[in-house]
Structure 1
Amino acid sequence: MDKEKLAIHGGQPIRDHYLPYGRQVINDDDINSVISILRSDFITTGPTIEQFEREIAEYTGAKFAVAFSSGTAALHGACFAAGIGKGDEVITTPMTFAATSNCILYQGGKPVFVDIDPKTYNLNSSLIKEKITKKTKAIIPVHFTGQPADLECISKIAKENNLILIEDAAHALGAKYKNKNIGSIGDMTMFSFHPVKHITTGEGGIITTNNEDFYQKLLQFRSHGIVRAKEMLIENHGPWYYEMQSLGFNYRLTDIQAALGISQLKKLDSYIARRKQIADFYNKEFKSMNEISLPFQEVQGDSSWHLYIIKLQSSKLTGNRKEIYEALQKENIGVNVHYIPVYHHPYYQTLGYKFGTCTVAEKCYEEFITLPLHAGMSDQDSMDVVNAVKKVINYFSRRN
């Protein structure tokens, strides 16, 4: 194997330093925004959080936004606000990070996995109805890679069956579906601000909603279930008084993080534009490579391009996916794989989930490789990725 690796690399990697698949872009404006908060009176639970929430709501076109300490915490809050509880079923996709379905479990609910569309890799809307039972409470589609799911169909199914639609848009800040901003469509929508996402607050997440009842529940949930507004108190002992009216969590974002988010949000559109440029370049360069298939372009949606995933097309290549992955890493190209189907994880196996539940998702998992894509990449970075992919794929395609 060492000789084979040497043959692939010709003794020298394409890059002399590592290019991660995703990373934050931080400049002096961001740093100065954070410094200004560190010098202010509030570094947490202050006015900057509310400003960030207002600006996210305005950007997405939602009435309300509630910031959380992480995308996972935000999605947990949405499941709480939706009233998901013990025995309730929630339909979702296995092609996602485990947090999507974990948040259902946190509330005592049961994730019901529906297979993905073989083109878009999003939740296959044509399979949802057969999974709905009397116990079904909500649907959580994931806008995988930043490409919007089939919201028209999913929304219709949700309304017909009195289900709550919670969008996991961790990948999709800035995406559009039929000219509507993601974040303004479903009952609640979650965005993530992890450093590999479009903008970052370090860690952080947010829920947008047009429903005031959900909004109030989200506010309580992120802060121990505590209520301070006079009109919502059951009793009132004085101006200091507050009440814990539900079992919530300490899921608050800090003003330090919110300041970074506000600064980052100003650059979001330019970041997405850069991601699209890189994706277009990849599409052009890989178009003639029959050994791989490229991301499907959904005509009804405008992707925000969080991830760029190629799919290996032959059994010869999929059988060597691990070696291909390692070879690209040795070229200093930080490839990844998104995602291991959630129910493959050992914990989910202990809950009774079985392999073979979603065969399309399982097959795609064996064929996927995620390439670097982030706004901080240079043209040379993009070319290095293309050259490395062509070099490695061509080698494995020719190898007996």
Structure 2
Amino acid sequence: MVKPGLAIHGGKPVREQYLPYGKQSIDDEDIQTVINVLKGDFITTGPTINQFEEKVAAYVGAKYAVAFSSGTAALHGACFAAGISDGDEVITTPMTFVASANSILYQGGVPVFSDIDPHTYNIDPESIKQKITSKTKAIIPVHFTGQPVELDEILKIAQDYNLIIIEDAAHALGATYKDRKIGSIGDMTMFSFHPVKHITTGEGGIITTNNEAYYQKLLQFRTHGITRDSNKLLKNHGSWYYEMQTLGYNYRITDFQAALGLSQLQKLDSFISKRKQYVAMYQEELKELPEIIVPKQLNYVNSSWHLYIIRLNLSLLKVDRREIFQALQKENIGVNVHYIPVHLQPYYQKLNYQKGICPKTEKLYEEIITLPLFSSMSKKDVNDVIQAVKK
């Protein structure tokens, strides 16, 4: 048991150099791929984007993919394609980054926060059912940490109430649910390519879908709502002619970002394999510590392990999470907390979201710490983290 005042103050730290919680893994092949595009004719909207979209779609088993300038932009596009507008309610989890809910607000919709399953930390299907009203238009489940949600139950709810499913899979590229790849199941699925994710394009995101109507809307939305497709034009003044038919945004990704994504995608499975190897080390070494609850792994899902989160058993500790967090930082371990529940953010408080609406989420937030996990870590790095946590 940790006693007051003994939580690693002073002394030589476990590590000499700081270890971040997440980091991109970029090699010379990635760099050369980007250079090749930069030396070519297209650096903004060019053929490499289409190639990247086709490869991602093929990887997850979807018919279509549309790349965006960020995961947030991609989620916004999905909400637009789903027809979310003023007053429409969309159910999501507060245990996520703010973008999951913000994308609803961008369309004039109303985020409705559903509580989590305290064992998996994912959105609870039973809580979803309780939040459905006549105004509910869609559900945005988040595959938190890379572990897929209970998709069969959520799909059944969506079918019963005629709701659209937009999966926030920012953490879950490469994950599977009952042997089906995430990205091929819901109406639309978003993946993020931020540097701490499994693969990166710098900033970037993508929507995968099997629905051609959504696909066409996404394409138009990311380019100011403009089309040059002669089959869609209301008029046609010539080959130069284009029409802005809806209010879209400049959410385009660049060709050189897509080139990086293409190169990274070839390494994705090896990146995930490394993450799983390091998670196994964490699980083995930390599971016997009574002060810590390690993540629960469901046998019918295959997590892609974006984050590794430990939960503190505060009843056995006489120091709080903040002191343990700061002590680990003094050991040069780049811990983090994912996430502050969205409904507790000041902006959402101004929108009259109250503390207490998702008690399981709020309790979890007080007890979690994210440990470093990324593919370019070494086994020594992992062992340093384990040593610091035990210390």
Instruction: Bin the TM-score by the shorter chain.
Output: over 0.9
Q: Is the 8 A contact 1:62 1:210 kept in 2?
A: yes
Q: Take 1:83 and 1:289, find their aligned partners in 2: how far apart are those partners? A: 48
AA at the equivalent of 1:193? F
Tell me the alpha carbon deviations over residues 325-350 of structure 1, each in whole angstroms, 9 at most, x when there is no partner. 00000000000000000010000000
Tell me by how many angstroms 1:316 deviates: 5.3
1:194 maps to a residue whose letter is H
Secondary structure, in 3 states, of the residue corresponding to 1:156?
helix
2:330 paired residue number: 330
- Report the more deviating stretch, 125-134 or 27-36: 125-134
Q: Distance in 1 between matches of 2:9 and 2:322?
A: 16
Task: Please identify, of 128-137 and 315-324, the stretch whose mean Cα deviation from structure 2 is larger.
Answer: 315-324
**C-alpha separation between the residues in 1 aligned to 2:87 and 2:318?**
39
Which residue matches 2:317? 317
Tell me the residue number matched to 1:144: 144
Is residue 2:156 matched to residue 1:182? no
Aligned position for 2:92:
92
Residue aligned with 2:90, SS: strand
Q: Which residue of 2 aligns with 1:381?
A: 381
Does the 8 Å CA contact 2:148/2:303 hold for their aligned counterparts?
yes
SS at match of 2:329: helix
Which one is further off, 308-317 or 140-149?
308-317
TM-score (norm 2): 0.98
Could you tell me whether the CA contact under 8 Å between 1:70 and 1:205 is conserved in 2? yes
Q: Which residue of 2 aligns with 1:395?
A: none
Counterpart in the other structure of 1:263: 263
Q: Aligned partners of 2:158 and 2:318: how far apart in 1?
A: 37
**Matching residue of 1:361:** 361
CA deviations over 1:143-177 (Å, ceiling 9, x no partner): 00000000000001001111000000000000000
Instruction: Calculate percent identity across the aligned residue pairs.
Output: 68
Matches within 5 A, 1:70-149: 70-149=70-149
| Counterpart residue identity of residue 205, structure 1 | G
Q: How far apart, CA to CA, are the structure 2 residues paired with 1:317 and 1:141?
A: 33
Q: Distance in 2 between matches of 1:27 and 1:9?
A: 37
C-alpha separation in 1, matches of 2:115 and 2:287? 27
Q: Hey, which of these two has a bigger chunk of helix by percent?
A: 1
Q: CA deviation at 1:318?
A: 7.8
Identify the range of structure 1 (316-325 vs 265-274) with the bigger mean alpha-carbon deviation: 316-325
TM-score by structure 1 length? Answer: 0.96
Task: State the Cα distance separating 1:300 from its structure 2 match.
Answer: 1.8
- 2: CA distance, partners of 1:121 / 1:319: 24
Cα distance in 2 for partners of 1:211, 1:129 equals: 25
Q: Distance in 1 between matches of 2:172 and 2:238?
A: 44
Question: For 1:207, what is the secondary structure of its paired residue?
Answer: strand
- Runs of 4 or more above 4 Å deviation: none
Q: Structure 1: which 5+ residue stretches go unaligned?
A: 392-400
- Name the CA distance, whole Å, in 2 between partners of 1:154 and 1:170: 18
Task: Tell whether 2:235 aligns with 1:273.
Answer: no
Report whether the alignment pairs 1:390 with 2:390. Answer: yes
Q: Which residue of 2 aligns with 1:240?
A: 240
- Match of 1:134, as an amino acid? S
- The residue that corresponds to 1:398 in the other structure is none
Structure 1 residue 183: Cα displacement? 0.1
CA–CA separation in structure 2 for the residues paired with 1:21 and 1:220: 36
Residue in 1 that maps onto 2:23: 23
Instruction: Give the C-alpha shift of residue 314 in structure 1.
Output: 2.2
Letter in 2 for 1:240: W
Secondary structure (helix, strand or coil) at the match of 2:231 reads helix
Structure 2 equivalent of residue 218 of structure 1: 218
- Within 2, Cα distance between the matches of 1:319 and 1:363? 16
Contact 1:9 1:331 in 2 (8 A): no
Distance 1:318 1:199, change over 3 A: farther
Aligned to 1:43: 43
Match of 1:11 in 2: 11
Structure 2 gap segments, 5+ residues each:
none
